[in-house]
Structure 1
Amino acid sequence: MPRRQSMPGRWFILDRPPDRKVWAVLRRLPPRSGLMALCYLNPAERRRLRHIGKLRSLAIAAERPRVAARVHNIAELRLALQRRTPMILLSPIFPTRSHPDWKPVPRMRAASLARLGGRRLLALGGMTAGRYAKIAPLGFIGWAGISAFRT
């Protein structure tokens, strides 16, 4: 993501190499959304991803190490802040299919962690645009999701 570009408030997380369905999702992402690749991409996939990103005006966070950290508690948040991780995702905010046994972070704790994060936290876990609207006042700067974009 170039420095001159402001951070999008909505991020699609690519958690596995893209297949036909994922490429279709990428072509439908709203302009100025973000794409965070947390999986290995071969050179051809990276080129295709950059091409779609350019066409759709997407920010892509895929090519730098430690561009993002998922945190679940204050200790992990402090570590991410010490490492100056640019994007910090607090998870899970809501129940999620990918981790059905994980309990969501209580709202007041999420608000405290968002404040400690210095307005750098993205909400993750069971997120949708509607759910983000409800929790945005807690101090999050945006949200990220996997299945929210695949419908």
Structure 2
Amino acid sequence: MAALYSGWVTRAKTLPALWLISDARNDAGLERALARLPRGSGLIYRHYHLEGPERLARFRALRRVARRHGHVVILADSALTAREWGADGIYGAPRSLWPRRHGLLHLATAHDMGELGLAARLGADAALLSPVFATRSHPGGATLGPVRFQLLARQAGLPVIALGGMTRHSARALGWPRWAAIDGLS
């Protein structure tokens, strides 16, 4: 257990506290949002609405802006594509991140304790646990709420990033050190 805890602390120290997640609905403001983030924040590039060369071109444009501001750039795709495109890591469901690729950050999506546990067992560097609060992405959907989020996150066995309805205000109210947003930062 001490070795597991030691690895968790090491990963937590190198992990950005603030993450901007790209989406079709925030695309127009991403360059401005990246410029406003504190140096050393992170970008998770999804852009599922784009395909092939158009997706790659948009990734490269945003990666240039992100790098200029010292941000980490994560790609929602395979490890092979992340390496080819020059990303710092990959993002997806825990099983999609396996096998572990050294030299890349692995950020897993999670919605419950089972997915958090799987992410930890498969060696993810962190998990984005969601949805904490109501979101435009899933109107009327169930949320974890602050109490359940805190309970799950504290038992996760890996660093947890809060996602879902997150803004600077909700992050302060939640009192959690790491959070990500789509609309709340763009």
Shorter-chain TM-score: which interval?
A: 0.7 to 0.9
State how far apart, in whole Å, the 2-side matches of 1:55 and 1:113 are: 35
- Normalising by structure 2, we get a TM-score of 0.67
Candidates 54, 60, 85, aligned match of 2:67? 54
State how far apart, in whole Å, the 2-side matches of 1:73 and 1:30 are: 29
State how far apart, in whole Å, the 2-side matches of 1:97 and 1:43 are: 26
Partner residue in 1 for 2:17 = 9
Q: Contact conserved, 2:66 with 2:72, CA < 8 A, in 1?
A: yes
State how far apart, in whole Å, the 2-side matches of 1:122 and 1:21 are: 22
Gap regions ≥5 residues in structure 1: none
Identical counterparts, % of pairs: 33
Aligned length: 144
Partner residue in 1 for 2:130 = 91
* SS of equivalent residue, structure 2 residue 120: helix
Partner residue in 2 for 1:114 = 153
Partner residue in 2 for 1:143 = 179
Structure with bigger RCO (C-alpha 8 Å, 6+ apart):
1
Partner residue in 2 for 1:72 = 111
Q: Which has the larger helix fraction? A: 2
**Superposed CA RMSD:** 2.5
Q: Contact conserved, 1:71 with 1:77, CA < 8 A, in 2?
A: yes
Deviating more after overlay: 17-26 vs 61-70: 17-26
State how far apart, in whole Å, the 1-side matches of 2:161 and 2:57 are: 29
Gap regions ≥5 residues in structure 2: 1-10, 49-53, 76-81, 83-88, 91-96, 98-105
- Normalising by structure 1, we get a TM-score of 0.80
